[in-house]
Chains A and B, each alone.
Chain A
Amino acid sequence: MPLIEIKNASKGFGHNGSKTEVLKNINLSVEEGEFVVIVGYSGSGKTTLINMLSGLVKPDNGEALIEGKLITEPGPDRGLVFQNYSLLPWLTVEENIALAVDEVFIDWTKEQRKAHVAKYIAMVKLTPSAHKLPKELSGGMRQRVSVARTLSMEPKVLLMDEPLSALDALTRAQLQDEIADIWLANKTTVIWITNDPDEAILVADKVIPLLPTSPATLGEPMIVDIERPRDRKAINHDKRFKKLRTQLITTLLDAKGRTKIKSSVKLTLPDILPEDLTNLNSMEFINRRGPKRRTDNKREEVEVAA
């Protein structure tokens, strides 16, 4: 039995008259220990999809299940990492994580919980900053706290909604590697949402494109059978990586191309050329009456040739 699945779900927003369908015919099933990445354009319904799994959004039709049970509300069995970190600004790194741990492991002793918090802070390499406030941390460090907080609840599934999209390219690369390493160490089931095809192939076991048809649907899953740990430099030379990359990017671009409405507006480019603003003193434009035109230019060229 798959750990978490969506069966024939669809979702739309708005009232009866002006309802927009966002997702349709969504079927997703994820086995325990799998690392699945869903790639799609911004605005195509990726967040709605992950919210169905987290229980923040209910599908209009169909159902979302975890271990065969219907998902009706958020719970600690599904940990969610947001793009904007969502840390409490008045609590330190340690307190932010302790908040989750204290809530989930109520029957543990204080020492047990403290050790548990420390373990996860160490896992994301933030031990030296454990007593800092979020405002004293960089974006990358804040996202690490957020990942540690979510992992510390020991969720059955880790749901990540564009976790690295707000970070610069270098920090992003570093965190991709770190999260992949953490996953290798404890093999929590991960569903990760992104808009970066390279990121998807680098970290995932299975990449699923979210096709921007309207409403959006999931495409064919692609299996990434490249051994781990993956080296981001070496992988560029890997034949399987190149093939998957081409396949994924063209699938997404083709789907976008099909949805484009071909407009039939007649356009005319006026036959005018820019004036030389650096040489206005010549007053050359006064004698000409009207703009410079391409056709005038052609006449000039003929004279030069003769």
Chain B
Amino acid sequence: MSVPNPKMLELDRLWKTYDTPKGPTTIVKNFNLKLREGEFATLIGHSGCGKSTVLMMVAGLSDLSKGNMILAGKEASGPGPDRGIVFQSPCLLPWMTAFENVMLGVNQVYFTASKAERRQMTAYYLTIVGLGDAMHKYPSELSQGMRQRVGIARAFALQPKMLLLDEPFGMLDSLTRYELQEVLLELWRRNRITTLMVTHDVDEAIFLSDRVVMMTNGPEAEVGDILNIPFERPRNRKQIMEDPSYYELREHLITFLNDRSHIRPSREPQFKPSPDMAAELAAHAFPFPTAAA
């Protein structure tokens, strides 16, 4: 990994259309995004705007209606172990212990390694997420936060090319969420897997990612704005929260979301796009979509 691939993931004019009795509905329209290798990007938007749809298309769990997706130089289709996913609920098999749940995938992708090495691999990741003394417990014996830790360990243990996180902390209370964000960053510090995360938590997006991609409201959602998060890594929450630019970034994102709020929309949109978006547009090799496209 001496030279990071500048185009680990390329999403080129993705469309998602569903057929309904009233004719086709476009959920996602002309979605363009490029991720560098080792980049942590976040998709943020209101619920129902299609952020999960985009993530599921990248995961291969949902077909593309139009457009191309290139992962590490190859056209990708269908789900595979090269893309690790963490869902909102960890989806563990209840009759297996945490260790066995992680082993399930590890046995598949490291089938040429010795059993001892595979067990070592699983134990390594479970210990790092803080389950060193609970790895032989069943999911029913673990709290919601601990189960999600297993889900994160399982995704990282497979060393995927890309990590896809679909609101991984959405079901946790705020304080547990902060703890798990640190766990995720700790793993990510050790192995910088290219990551695409979906969230609607503004603080989470700023703390974790290198780049925040804001989506407009669906249907026909597209990229509304892109914001670079300049904080250095490894990140310390206290330092970041005390940084004067933290609340500037936070306000930028909140204003974007407020202008598109479903409940009490402000009369005057107050949002001004960031210069990062213009840079992103210029960087795209293909002509950027026009209204007619």
Distance from A54 Cβ to chain B, minimum over Cβ atoms (Å): 22
Contacts A165-B173, A195-B175, A246-B241 given; indicate if A275 touches B132 (C-beta within 8 A): no
Given A272-B118, A273-B159, A291-B117, 13 other A-B contacts at CB below 8 A? Answer: A39-B175, A195-B173, A197-B174, A236-B251, A249-B241, A253-B238, A256-B179, A270-B117, A270-B118, A272-B113, A275-B112, A290-B113, A305-B2
> Cβ of A197: which chain B residues have Cβ within 8 Å of it?
174-175
> Pick the contact of A196 from B120, B174, B238 — CB < 8 Å?
B174
Secondary structure of the B side of the interface? helix
Instruction: Say yes or no: B173 contacts A250, CB within 8 Å.
Output: no
> Cβ of B127: which chain A residues have Cβ within 8 Å of it?
265, 267
Q: Please, what's the 1-or-0 string for A259-285, where 1 marks a CB less than 8 Å from any CB in chain B?
A: 000010101111011111110000001
Identify the closest chain B residue to A199 (Cβ): B174
Q: Answer yes or no: A301 CB below 8 A from chain B CBs.
A: yes
A236 to B246, CA, bound (A): 12
Instruction: Say yes or no: B110 contacts A237, CB within 8 Å.
Output: no
Q: Answer yes or no: A228 CB below 8 A from chain B CBs.
A: no
A288 to B113, CA, bound (A): 11
Distance from A266 Cβ to chain B, minimum over Cβ atoms (Å): 10
A42 to B111, CA, bound (A): 40
Count B-side interface residues using an 8 Å CB cutoff: 42
Q: Answer yes or no: A292 CB below 8 A from chain B CBs.
A: yes
Instruction: Say yes or no: A41 contacts B175, CB within 8 Å.
Output: yes
Identify the closest chain B residue to A168 (Cβ): B47
Of the four ranges (under 10, 10 to 19, 20 to 34, 35 or more), the interface on chain A belongs to 35 or more
Report, nearest first, the 8 A-B pairs whose CB atoms are least far apart: A291-B113, A274-B109, A270-B117, A291-B112, A195-B173, A246-B241, A272-B113, A270-B120
> Cβ of A272: which chain B residues have Cβ within 8 Å of it?
110, 113, 117-118, 121
A269 to B238, CA, bound (A): 30
Q: Answer yes or no: A233 CB below 8 A from chain B CBs.
A: yes
> Cβ of A43: which chain B residues have Cβ within 8 Å of it?
143
A305 to B2, CA, bound (A): 10
Identify the closest chain B residue to A289 (Cβ): B112
Q: Answer yes or no: B31 CB below 8 A from chain A CBs.
A: no
Instruction: Say yes or no: A236 contacts B254, CB within 8 Å.
Output: yes
Interface set, chain B 171-198, CB cutoff 8 A to A: 173-176, 178-179
A41 to B263, CA, bound (A): 30
A292 to B112, CA, bound (A): 8
> Cβ of B110: which chain A residues have Cβ within 8 Å of it?
272, 274-275, 291
Q: Please, what's the 1-or-0 string for B232-261, where 1 marks a CB less than 8 Å from any CB in chain A?
A: 000001100110000100110010001000
Contacts A42-B175, A285-B112 given; indicate if A301 touches B2 (C-beta within 8 A): yes
A262 to B42, CA, bound (A): 31
